[in-house]
Every structure is written in C-alpha cells, then in structure tokens.
Amino acid sequence: MFKPIPMATLCLLGLSLDGLADTLVVDSIHQQSPPGAVNSEQVLIIQNDEFGNQRTLRIGHPGGSVTRPKPCKRDEPVAGMDCTGKDLREVRWDRARVSGSQFDGADLRGASLSGAQLENASFNDARLDQADLSGTRLINCEFNNASLSGARLSHAQIINSDFMDADLSRSDLTESSLINAELMDARLEGATWLDGRRCREGSVGACRR
C-alpha cells in the first residue's frame, strides 16, 4: 500500500523531486490520500518514462484524490491523454473534443483537427507544421515554442492561449478570433493575418504589414 510522505519531511531532508526513489511511483489509475491527512501530508505522484526520467504528475490535497493521465490513443482521442513526445503525424481528429491532455514535444505534422475543441491542452515544443486547425476552438491551450509553420488556423477561436516563441510563419489565420492570446516573440513572417493580409518579413510578436 502506497503511503504518502509528508511534504514537510521532504523539505527537511532537502530532497529534490528528481531524486525521489522508485518507491514513490504509483501504477494505479486512481489513488486517494488517507482520511484525516494533515496539511503537511499530500499524495505525490511520480511517473517514470522509458528512459528512467521522473516527473511530477499531480500533488493531491489532503483527503482528496489524484488521477493518472490516460494512455495516448492515436485513433480515438480522449480527455486526459498523455501524448508527450508521441509520433502523431497525419492523425485525423476532426471535430474531436479533447480536454486536459498533453502533447508536449509531440509530432503532429500534417495532422487534421478541423473543427476540434481543445481545452486545457499543452502543445509546448510540439511540431504542427502543415496541420489543419481550421475552425478549431482552442481554450486555455499552450503552444509555447511550438512549430506551426504553414498550419491552417482560419476561422479558429483562440481564447486564453499562449504562443510565446512559436513559429507561425506562413500559417493561415484568416478570420480567426484571438481573445487574450499571447504572441510574445512568435514568428509571423509570411503568415496570413485575420484580415487576410500577409505579414511582412521581420514580423515577430505582431503582424507587421
């Protein structure tokens, strides 16, 4: 039976999360912290990848529950998937509804997600070159340092999403709506902007004509 280690104990020992032992790995899909746990006791979930690297998945509140991400499904996307670093080139996820999923570092070149709704999803460092995201609804998504060169984003609704340092060169954003979208240092040269006009060379962080 997995017994949570008090966070205060970890702090006293000076242990970093990267140095925690394999005994902290939880393989069950759903783990609940013990009833009556005090404030210093929290359920800590660590996942080991195939290369032996560890990362924190979730820290649950005392008496609360934590969930493990679901396996990545190429043919049938579901909420809560962990597709970090996966090869998803040319997947066909048109009109899919996916929330709370991770695609960091994934390869989605040529993927079709036309009309999809993606909420609370992370695409940091992902490759979406030539992907079809037309008519998508992107809510609370992250595309930081992602490559979307030549991607189709026309008629998309992009809300509370980050594209910092992203490559949007030659992408098509015709008639898309950007609401609280972060484009700091995003490369936009050659992109077709909301009004159908082309962004000139040197457009970084904003479309310059």
Q: Is 19 exposed, middle or buried (0-12, 13-18, 19+ CB in 10 A)?
A: exposed
pLDDT of res. 38? 41
- 182 forms beta bridges with 162
- At 12, is the secondary structure helix, strand, or coil? helix
Q: What is the pLDDT along the chain (209 residues), one digit of tens a residue?
A: 444 444 433 333 333 344 433 333 333 333 444 444 444 444 454 556 555 555 555 445 545 555 678 999 998 899 999 999 999 999 999 999 999 999 999 999 999 999 999 999 999 999 999 999 999 999 999 999 999 999 999 999 999 999 999 999 999 999 999 999 999 999 999 999 999 999 999 999 999 98
Distance CA 20, CA 25 (A): 9
pLDDT of res. 28? 34
| C-alpha angle 30-36-37 in degrees, rounded to nearest 5 | 70
| Annotated domain spans of the chain | 7-67, 70-209
**β-pair type (70-71, 43-48):** unpaired
For 106, half-sphere exposure in the C-beta direction (CA atoms, 13 angstrom radius) is 26
Whether residue 186 contacts residue 166, with contact meaning beta carbons closer than 8 Å, is answered with yes
Q: CB count, 10 Å around CB of 154?
A: 20
Stated pTM of the model? 0.69
Whose CA is closest to 152, among 168, 167, 131?
Answer: 131
Distance CA 103, CA 124 (A): 7
pLDDT of res. 199? 97
pLDDT of res. 76? 85
* Kind plus residue range of the DSSP H or E element containing 8: helix 7-13
CATH 2.160.20.80, applies to 70-209: yes
- At 157, is the secondary structure helix, strand, or coil? strand
